[in-house]
Structure 1
């Protein structure tokens, strides 16, 4: 039988999981191409500019969804 502490811990775990899911954007698996400009690269992005532009676009999309 669960007591109040167990219930509180369960709620805290659910809350933490939700916060982490929102905070950490999920990136698609490596494809051999830059996610932003589609240039061939063994990494997710060919350079820091493409990474920054991709993250900026993701934030803009998220802000549009939130209203």
Structure 2
């Protein structure tokens, strides 16, 4: 799920950047804010987002795995 979400986010971000560069133009027709869309940037971003998501899920899961279920329910 995390990998799919990060890939979807990278794809949507790239699409929005491409649309923005086509819409936002100077009076002479050049892009107002030129954005360099590099495939390496998208891959790195997706991998970093996936790694952060895995760490954010792993740390609380490790802590919860150490709990005794009976004590967690009672307390």
Bin the TM-score by the shorter chain: 0.3 to 0.5
TM-score under structure 2 normalisation? 0.34
> Scaled by the length of structure 1, what TM-score is found?
0.37
Q: Which has the higher helix share?
A: 2
Structure of greater relative contact order (alpha carbons < 8 Å, 6+ residues apart): 2
